Structure 1
Amino acid sequence: MLQIGDELVYFSAVFLLVMLGTRSATGASILTASLYVFMVMFRFPPVPADQAGRVLRPKAAAGGVPVVAHRAGSHDAPENTLAAIREASRNGATGVELDLSFTADGVPVLMHDETVDRTTNGSGPINKLQLAQLRRLDASARHRLKDKFSGEKVPTLHEAVGECIKQQLTIFFAVKGQTDKAASALHEMYKKFPALYNSSVVCSFEPKVIYKMRQTDPKVVTALTHRPWSLSRFSDGTPRSLSSWSQFWSGLLDVLLDWAHHHLLWNLCGVSAILMQKDFISLDYVQYWAERGVEVVGWTINTVVEKEYYQNLLKISYITDSLLEDCDPRY
């Protein structure tokens, strides 16, 4: 009933805004009706609640809340590596977040950045490197514990999934782009490893990625990732542009994007969770989504005080860079 009531409010607001802008009740009615028909025809229903619950609230979190290692635990081991996955499991994580990328020969691998410069002893865009070239790089070369993990390789998606299943970890597949290629590669993983339907979630900042994933395989649990003001400001809050005009328009787009995430896109994609930047989460925010059957997961929670807040007060899942100690805040 709440969702139906919400929709009446949203579409009424659209009607009023369009009518005020066009001074045409007929035009506003047609546009609002078209939007409603589009939503009814093309939105995906969420996966069954029991399936989403198994993924987002695994039994391994009994007595606490699920804890997900960011990039498989980038502070405790070289990020997005098999060593990090094993380390996360040893340190008590219930899941790992892994970043999907592709080599020049189309092999899905784990890498957060567009280049290999920050994390390996190589350089250049990952989409310009063949898998054989990537395999020669040391993925621990620039990590603070490089001596302990020396020689660690960049894993393929297949290797990472196999290791996560072995360690009984939930996987948060983070997809940043290459929508069709990513959906196809992940669909292949779900066919090879059916256990993933009950132990993984596909998440992205880009709604089109989630929509394409649901279109490719509607049985997959999905989540939208969001940070308010992401178009106008960097993660630390500094403006992306020095131009007042540019800042104004990007800020306006931010408002529209935020509204769309909370009132339209989640429903269109049929997501089971929203991954929200930590500074924008409160008890009221968690309750807002709970009323809509959507879980909230916070990121990135890197201090003991923050973790206690999530475990004892919010009682929701969180993503962290370290399972062992406080580390640098990540915005």
Structure 2
Amino acid sequence: MASHATRKAWRVSVVTSRSLSTFRRTSQNVLACPSALSSTIIRIPKRSLFVLPFGLDVGLAFAAMYYITALERPDKERVQKIFGHDPWSKDEVKNSEEVVHCIAHRGAALDAPENTIEAFKYCVEQNCKFVEMDVRSLRDGQLVLLHDEGLQRLTGTTINNVQCVDWDAIKDYNVAANHPNREHFKDVRLCLFEDALDYLLENKFKMIIDVKGVDQEVISGVLDAFATRPALYESAAVTCFNPYPLYLIRKTDPKIIGALSYRPYCFSAQDYDAENGPTNPRFPDSVVHRVAMRACDALHGVAWRRLARWCGVSAVLLHKDIVSPSEVEYWRGLGVRCVGWAVNRPVEKLYWRGVLRAAYLASTLLGEPAVEKQSKDKTSSDCAASSPEQMLDPEQTEQNVSSGRN
């Protein structure tokens, strides 16, 4: 009996040694029984769990996070108080005077020094009570109305980043020094954000606040402005090219009406138009950076619509050269207003008013009353002096635009 047990144990050890590689591969699935002999192995196969194909699980996770974190849009009534009646709705005929057509881009930057109180006063004179303005933060935490990072274009100084200076260092610069109409606007100063809000609210303006930068100071400053001035909730919308600060603002205060701005090639080029395409590259001396930025442009072009819906926007501000009737219809189907920038020529304004039937940002207000009068009453004597043929004449169009610059 003892010899029989020894031979059995020897056979088991031989089989085990011959299947050593198999034992190593399945060692994680082996469960040892303490009551069994040391030479006895009990193999229990491990049940494999269902695993999604590579990448699909990550995509589903991102999709779930997207819908979980997406913000809701404010009520349509509050959006209507700012952007007016939908030009495509039935109410447009009954309330045509409440339909927004023109929004003064930076306070009509071609007619008056941009982002200044003087520009807003000019808008009052031209009977335009809807303006767009840019907001940046300074080193001392104050917010100033300024589009560029520096002051070279407006003042000719060497300051290329206002975040490195305080308000006291730049408050006396004349921002009308290089303006085409500088003979009519002498000694114009920069404007603080809070001063602009007080003036605009006092004069019952509607406004679009364009947030420049992603620093916490400008985000906190915009949130504080709404908290201390409740009238802004029915008077102002906040926009940004970067969806991240817009998302932070609306997540903190969902009552704020948001809008996302977009233009093609915003990462790789500083300028874009339909005739020339992207121009003035941001990294002209680095091929690697240019290729990387073009890749970011392609990704941005695919994702920006989803990002706009993720932020719960009520409007989109698009470059005028990429807007078509189908684009306007797409956003209208989602209940989102479509606004173009910057629409300056009279023929473009007629197209936006009559064909696209959408609001637009204009850097000049010259010709706006004539265009509006023409669209309302084509048989009036005033419109006869400026017929559609004359408005569509290319030479006359260029003269009107150049008069706005000069």
- The answer to whether the superposition gives a TM-score over 0.5 is yes
Partner secondary structure for residue 254 of structure 2: coil
Instruction: Return closer, same or farther for 1:313/1:217 CA change in 2, 3 Å cut-off.
Output: same
Distance 1:120 1:242, change over 3 A: closer
- TM-score normalised per structure 1: 0.85
Deviations 1:139-161 (A, max 9, x none): 22221222322122111101101
Q: Tell whether the 8 Å contact from 1:55 to 1:198 is kept in structure 2 after alignment.
A: yes
2:152 partner SS: coil
Q: Size of the alignment, in residue pairs?
A: 306
Question: Whole-Å Cα distance in 2 between the matches of residues 137 and 122 of structure 1?
Answer: 9
CA distance in 2, matches of 1:126, 1:188: 21
Compared CA separation, residues 29 and 127, structure 1 to 2 (3 A): closer
Residue correspondence of structure 1 range 34-183 to structure 2 within 5 A: 34-57=61-84, 62=97, 64-120=99-155, 122-124=157-159, 125-183=161-219
8 A Cα contact 1:174 1:204, kept in partner: yes
Match of 1:14 in 2: none
Q: Deviations over 1:95-132 (max 9, x none)?
A: 11111112221111111111122213644132233222
After the TM superposition, which of the residue ranges 145-154 and 279-288 deviates more from structure 2? 145-154
Cα distance in 1 between the residues matched to 2:71 and 2:98: 33
Give the match's secondary structure for 2:401. Answer: coil
Please say if 1:281 is aligned against 2:323.
yes
Per-residue Cα deviation, 1:272-323 (whole angstroms, up to 9, x for no partner):
1110000000111000111111111000001000011111111111001100
1:238 aligns with 2:279: yes
Task: Provide the residue aligned with 1:8 in structure 2.
Answer: none
What is aligned with 2:4?
none
Write the deviation string for residues 221-266 of structure 1: whole angstroms up to 9, x where unpaired.
Answer: 011100022223342423724777655543332222111112x211
- Deviation, structure 1 residue 42: 1.1
**Which secondary structure does the structure 2 equivalent of 1:62 belong to?**
helix
Judge conservation of contact 1:66–1:93 (CA < 8 Å) in 2: no
Deviations along 1:79-104, whole A, 9 cap, x unmatched?
11001011112213241111111222
Q: After the TM superposition, which of the residue ranges 36-45 and 299-308 deviates more from structure 2?
A: 36-45
Of 208-217 and 174-183, more deviation after overlay is shown by 174-183
**Higher RCO, 1 or 2 (CA under 8 Å, sep at least 6)?**
1
SS of 2:53's partner is helix
CA contact (8 A) 1:197 1:221 kept: yes
Q: Select the residue among 275, 280, 293 that pairs with 1:250.
A: 293
Contact 2:271 2:280 in 1 (8 A): no
Contact 2:344–2:401, Cα closer than 8 Å, also in 1 = yes
Instruction: Check the 8 A contact 2:84/2:98 in 1, yes or no.
Output: no
CA distance in 2, matches of 1:233, 1:62: 39
Q: Quick check: 2:144–2:192 contact (8 Å CA) kept in 1? A: yes
Q: CA deviation at 1:67?
A: 1.2
CA RMSD in angstroms, aligned pairs only: 2.4
Other-structure match for 1:192: 228
Q: Is 1:184–1:216's contact at 8 Å kept on the other side of the alignment? A: no
Letter in 1 for 2:63: Y
Question: Does residue 337 of structure 2 align to residue 295 of structure 1?
Answer: yes
Taking a change above 3 Å as real, the CA distance of residues 131 and 250 of structure 1, as seen in their structure-2 partners, is: closer
Structure 2: where are the runs of 5+ without partners? 1-50, 86-91, 273-277, 368-399
Deviations 1:137-187 (A, max 9, x none): 222222122232212211110110111112222111111213422221011
Question: 1:17 maps to which residue?
Answer: none
* TM-score, reference length from structure 2: 0.70
